A and B are shown apart, each in its own frame.
Chain A
């Protein structure tokens, strides 16, 4: 059997049913076998989008997403998507063609050192130089991608290896002696943590993306109920805890709620679960939870005591560690101290997440998202681009379920949202999938309108169009004397663009039309691009200036 066929057979063994990608000279043998295989192939219009689609597929399902590209430029185009997946711990396997082995290192046509380039942006990578190694490499790659702290794995496969013959035998088991992620919390650490929890008066739980990745949302809810500790969900953790719970304090950090940031700042115990204390969460580190002891549950030891010094580290899968804690907790509502809950309740009442309602006909972006939440009942999978659109989505779409929010949190990749939504829709055809985009970021992968048009992928695109690169403009307004350098956008007619690709396009420019427009978008049986012309200089508030303490927020506290 040829190497390319072994690769396809191995993917099938791993349960792969769809691949996103783009062909090229070094992957023609692979595409030749793909032609007759049961694998569904989605041809993108740019390799970067293929990587993001694999990512959106993976985030929305928990399964490994797969993308493929040719050597050289095909592979380098994947890199932004690989780096995005790496920062947010998303299981993706990226397959790249490579020039034939005899030419590697010769500056051959379409050659790039893919393992070199992706070394620091992937969990692991392989250059396969022996056809007998293809099957085992695929097995390892899938295992690595979706175990421990997940992440992207790259398989670089030279074109001559794809054509060489070998026997196909797929390994049943895999054992990598140097890779043994810790699955359960150390019992001694669990005991110490419990003692700390029993003694806490003002506890707060910080739930990060790790809760969603490990599927620990039920355990988290139980843990919060048992302890009575309020829960903040980081940007990556949105959906880990139901928004209708009284204990829910929404998102902390730079654009978090005032009450989440106040609660963290004044807490005496932080229990962090699957959160890596990103600088957007902590703000000024010295002023972050100054009185709190910290328990940190994370499967990746490098996340612990990296940015914030931790008192009790628990290296473990989040679901397992929460399960261990829940089992050991003897009585209910340990932390319930009425005064703490009352203070939080007061903050919530005094500083709700809010915006000034429109006094003119202009559309408020927050209103669009509130309306989307209302009309989808919070059931939609929402992808976002990066910038103001992303933050408004995080603030005003209430995420009640895990794996319903797809956004580039770590890397902040503009151009992620639209293809990620496509990947999610391919994985969840019966779900409503919406991308909330800005007029800047939608143009970073707008060519994918061709992809949804040709495969009839019914993604709903909402552009919050303010004719600016809004987030940078906001910083320029607040910190740079309104000197709008490089941020005003002269946009194309998005409706005509959509129509040019054979997609329904609509423009909405009056606040009074929003409700009806959202209904039409949801009801329409097909892809829609909706171009909402919003209040141009609307800002995202509250806001913690970069490097400030998180309780020093602009907006939202007046």
Chain B
């Protein structure tokens, strides 16, 4: 099962390596990882989506993260109220017959066609994990040239 964990860490050299090597050394799977500065430039926020088979492993992941000296706090969103967002950018082959479908999709799923080139539509979608999955299902009926996903970020309510 996938879990979203937020770690506030010291914004300094080598911290990302510590986090990623913790995961590889202990055999935990990272699905996505997003890192960025917070309102305090000395602190970075890492949003980590992990695949933990059971509660025991999830508990260990949280504790092991917290044990790293450069990690300030760890929040496991599993049982918390939070808002999450992911960003996807998709390059679709142009297919005139499907333009209508695409426009319909953009109304329903908040997809945005941000650029139209000679051969492609470039589409952006910023949404929570469920909407992203739904939109991706729909987009599979188009011919996809490239699909790029950001890591998930999340904020507690």
Contact = CB atoms under 8 A, between A and B. Distances in A.
Interface stretch (A80-88, A172-180, A362-370): A172-180
Contact of B69 (A115, A120, A179, A309): A179
B56 A305 contact: yes
Given A115-B14, A178-B10, A305-B59, A123 B21 contact: no
A120 B25 contact: yes
Contacts of A179: 69
Contacts of A305: 56, 59
A32 B67 CA distance: 37
Interface residues of A, number: 18
A158 B50 CA distance: 36
A309 B56 CA distance: 9
A177 B17 contact: no
B18 A301 contact: no
B67 A302 contact: yes
B17 A302 contact: no
A178 B63 contact: no
A177 B25 contact: no
A115 B9 CA distance: 18
Contact of B17 (A116, A123, A306): A116
A459 B67 CA distance: 38
Contact of A302 (B14, B60, B70, B71): B60
A218 interface: no
B69 A144 contact: yes
A178 B17 contact: no
Contacts of B85: none
B51 interface: no
Contact of A123 (B9, B22, B69): B69
Interface residues of B, number: 20
A119 B66 CA distance: 15
Contacts of A178: 9-10, 69-72
Contacts of B25: 120
A309 B59 CA distance: 12
Contacts of B64: 302
Contacts of A120: 21-22, 25
Interface in B1-60: 9-10, 13-14, 17-18, 21-22, 25, 56, 59-60
Contact of A301 (B10, B17, B66): B66
B67 A119 contact: no
B6 to A, nearest CB: 14
A124 interface: yes
A127 interface: yes
A301 B68 CA distance: 12
Interface in A435-479: none
Contacts of A124: 69
Contacts of B63: 301-302
A300 interface: yes
A120 B71 CA distance: 15
A176 B70 CA distance: 9
B72 A177 contact: yes
Interface in A252-302: 300-302
22 contacts: A115-B14, A116-B17, A119-B18, A120-B22, A120-B25, A123-B69, A124-B69, A127-B14, A176-B69, A177-B72, A178-B9, A178-B70, A178-B72, A300-B67, A301-B63, A301-B66, A302-B63, A302-B64, A302-B67, A305-B56, A305-B59, A306-B60
Interface of A: 115-116, 119-120, 123-124, 127, 144, 176-179, 300-302, 305-306, 309
Interface of B: 9-10, 13-14, 17-18, 21-22, 25, 56, 59-60, 63-64, 66-67, 69-72
Given A116-B17, A178-B71, A302-B64, 17 more contacts: A115-B14, A119-B17, A119-B18, A119-B21, A120-B22, A127-B13, A127-B14, A144-B69, A178-B9, A178-B72, A300-B67, A301-B63, A301-B67, A302-B60, A302-B67, A305-B59, A306-B60
Task: Give 9 nearest A-B pairs by CB, closest first.
Answer: A178-B72, A302-B63, A124-B69, A120-B25, A301-B63, A119-B21, A179-B69, A302-B64, A302-B67
